[in-house]
Structure 1
Amino acid sequence: MLLGIGEYSATAAESRAQTATRYTVTAVLLADGPEPVSGGRGGTPFDSAPTQATWRTRDGQQRVGEVAAPAGTVAGHAVEIWVDETGAPAERPLTMTAAVLGAPLGAATLWAAAVSLFVFAYRGAVHVLNRRRLAAWGQEWAARQAGSTRRDDQSPTGS
């Protein structure tokens, strides 16, 4: 529970920081995007590739660089991109929804890993101890059998 709360707090803070420093702009492609490739049952093109484009930042500076262009786009087509405070292309900021969903998932994964580690350690210790006990019992049994001379002993060595 505390792990999830801590993870959520950290992820939510990261989301707020990214959202505060990143924004969308419209970039105009200077070159054609990748050729469309049909994929899946619907034949929908889903590839994107870096393509040269130009865009303006909030303060009006014109930038030129590579942006991810969807398959089949042509030069002059406008695409929405995320940029950071310097105007450089950036990844989409982490959303609060991702923080809310990711925190319990991360905590559950960490908890499952810790429990698995303890289970493996326990099973390993039980295995080692059982092997040592079995070896000790085998030695004790062999020692008792070798020294057995009782009359009611029905073993081949005792007759």
Structure 2
Amino acid sequence: MATKKDASIRSTCAPVRKRVRKRPKSGRRKGSKSPKHAIRIVNEPTCQHTFSEQQFLGLQVTANGVTLPVQNTSLTTLLSYAIMNHGPNPILAVLEVSPNAIQFAIDQKYTVPTGSMKVINPMHFLKWTRLTLTTESGGSASSADVYFQSQY
């Protein structure tokens, strides 16, 4: 039986102090006491990144296929599916995207050989994303672990 684990980590970036050279203004008055070149410190706004992960471990993949839950990826800036094939047969991984979580179009299709890992990223942006795994060899089952990771 497959297990699903959720993890979410939030990190905040500290303000960045940056040195900027100030160029002399043209038409400066003669005898002005301000230096021609000054350095000023600029505080840039803090950045926030949210990392989210879902693990689907011990999936039993057959010719009928295993479809993972649909993910709302509308707010993500980066997302990846890592598929690890632990079974004796190659796995076909199909990544699909959808505007409405009902009608899906194939975005990426990869074969994951036995004992290896593939990372899949969508090429097209739509609100919903899902992954379907099937075995290539017809009736023989295989096992896999899938990690869905996103950053916003």
With the length of structure 2 as denominator, give the TM-score of the two structures: 0.22
Whichever structure has more helix as a proportion of its residues is 1
Whichever structure has more strand as a proportion of its residues is 2
With the length of structure 1 as denominator, give the TM-score of the two structures: 0.22
Greater relative contact order (Cα 8 A, min sep 6): structure 1 or 2?
2
Bigger radius of gyration, 1 or 2? 1
